[in-house]
């Protein structure tokens, strides 16, 4: 089975597709799901796929994998590196799809062992924070049934062979903002005739660094990142405007309100200080709600995973500053979610970097152009964890009556 999983993973990795453009991926997932005997529907939430397999009476269990890629140019040098210029599976969603299809195969072959319904959900546009909501709004539960639990996993730059899960508030809320700052263009030789938006934007970037360090209490957590700054076209032209893109991570509504208020105050204040004659524009690109793992669901799920892979391989990583929209599936149906992290880094390489104190430098993280999970044991562990979790929530198949 491992050779089939690796071949599938390499194919998915070589053909990444951006959010809501996952047409090839969706077609491949659908073909494989139908071959396994699943009732399969495409186009749910635009490009999502839902595969359903029933085996007698029992609970419905939702297994989720996201399948969009990122606008990143791959630099791994792998023989199966992305063939789509400027697009890469830099967040490991190809691992998620491979593991879910592997679990679907095992469950299909073992229908005599369980009773209930498996609802495999392949979600688009997780990177935009809109895919889960799109599928729910497209009648996911009315069309395919409401689950008793939502289960899923995310490969991360932690040692392969480990499964990490934090009960409670597990992933941060995200607000992604676009800021346009307006100046007055002029020739570079005559700055006195201009209101320079480049300087305005640069001052804003530096001032934004004080939001967390000076306005958030030390026991609270928040992240403010300026991920993009665009202005100008040529060295001897002072442009008319500059654009910033911000990514903000928070864990509580109170801290979120404080951070968003500070960002707006700083942006508008720097514009005033620069003498801008037009107010800045601040708009929302996308948002993610915080993701909360149900504590009881985690106990039940992790007990089952630990029984198979070994309880010593389970860890609690604490709350992550990453964001995930998988929680939308749970809150929309008022059912628990258990979502865990799957190790994807060679354990020896990870241990070496930890010992040298160079983990952040030497271990490429998600969204890096060098991010490349090792296939073994990542894929088999992912299938094992997801299959064990599903069986923990499905009912055992009824025993045949004695003659």
Binding residues for Mn(2+), as ranges, are 91, 93, 127, 154, 367
Any idea what the Cα angle at residue 393 is, between residues 389 and 396, rounded to 5°?
110
> Would you say the C-alpha torsion 280, 255, 125, 45 has a positive or negative sign?
negative
Annotated binding-site residues read 91, 93, 127, 154, 367
Closest CA to 342 of 131, 119, 102, 106: 102
d(CA 100, CA 66): 10
Instruction: For residue 147, give Cα distances in angstroms to 63, 312, 337, 350.
Output: 10, 30, 10, 37
């Amino acid at each position: 089975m491992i050779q089939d999983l690796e071949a599938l993973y390499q194919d998915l990795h070589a053909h990444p597709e951006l959010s809501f453009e996952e047409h090839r991926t969706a077609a491949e997932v659908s073909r494989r799901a139908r071959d396994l005997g699943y009732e399969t529907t495409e186009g749910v939430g635009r490009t999502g796929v839902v595969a359903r397999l029933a085996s007698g009476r029992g609970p419905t269990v939702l297994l989720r994998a996201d399948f969009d890629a990122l606008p990143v140019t791959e630099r791994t040098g792998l023989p199966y590196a992305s063939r789509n210029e400027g697009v890469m599976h830099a967040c490991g969603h190809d691992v998620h799809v491979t593991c879910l299809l592997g679990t679907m195969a095992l469950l299909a072959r073992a229908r005599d062992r369980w009773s209930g319904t498996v609802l495999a959900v392949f979600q688009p546009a997780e990177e935009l924070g809109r895919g889960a909501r799109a599928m729910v709004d497209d009648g996911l539960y009315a069309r395919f049934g409401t689950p008793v639990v939502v289960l899923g996993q995310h490969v991360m730059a932690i040692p392969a062979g480990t499964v990490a899960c934090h009960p409670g508030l597990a992933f941060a809320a995200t607000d992604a903002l676009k800021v346009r700052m307006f100046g007055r263009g002029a020739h570079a030789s005559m700055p006195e005739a201009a209101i320079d938006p480049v300087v305005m934007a640069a001052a804003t970037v530096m001032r934004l660094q004080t939001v967390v360090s000076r306005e958030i209490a030390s026991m609270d957590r928040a992240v403010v990142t300026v991920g993009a700054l665009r202005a100008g076209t040529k060295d001897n032209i002072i442009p008319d405007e500059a654009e910033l893109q911000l990514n903000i991570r928070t864990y509580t509504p109170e801290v979120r309100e404080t951070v968003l208020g500070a960002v707006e105050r700083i942006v508008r204040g720097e514009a005033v200080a620069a003498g801008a004659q037009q107010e800045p524009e601040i708009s929302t690109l996308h948002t993610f709600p915080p993701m909360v793992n149900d504590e009881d669901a985690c106990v039940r799920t992790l007990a089952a995973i630990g029984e198979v892979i070994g309880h010593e391989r389970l860890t609690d990583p604490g709350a992550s500053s990453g964001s995930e929209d998988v929680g939308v599936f749970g809150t929309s149906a008022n059912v628990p979610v258990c979502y865990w992290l799957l190790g994807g880094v060679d354990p020896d390489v990870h241990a070496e970097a930890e010992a040298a104190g160079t983990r952040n430098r030497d271990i490429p993280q998600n969204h890096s152009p060098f991010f490349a999970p090792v296939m073994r044991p990542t894929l088999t562990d992912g299938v094992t964890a997801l299959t064990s979790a599903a069986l923990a929530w499905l009912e055992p198949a009824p025993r045949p009556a004695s003659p």
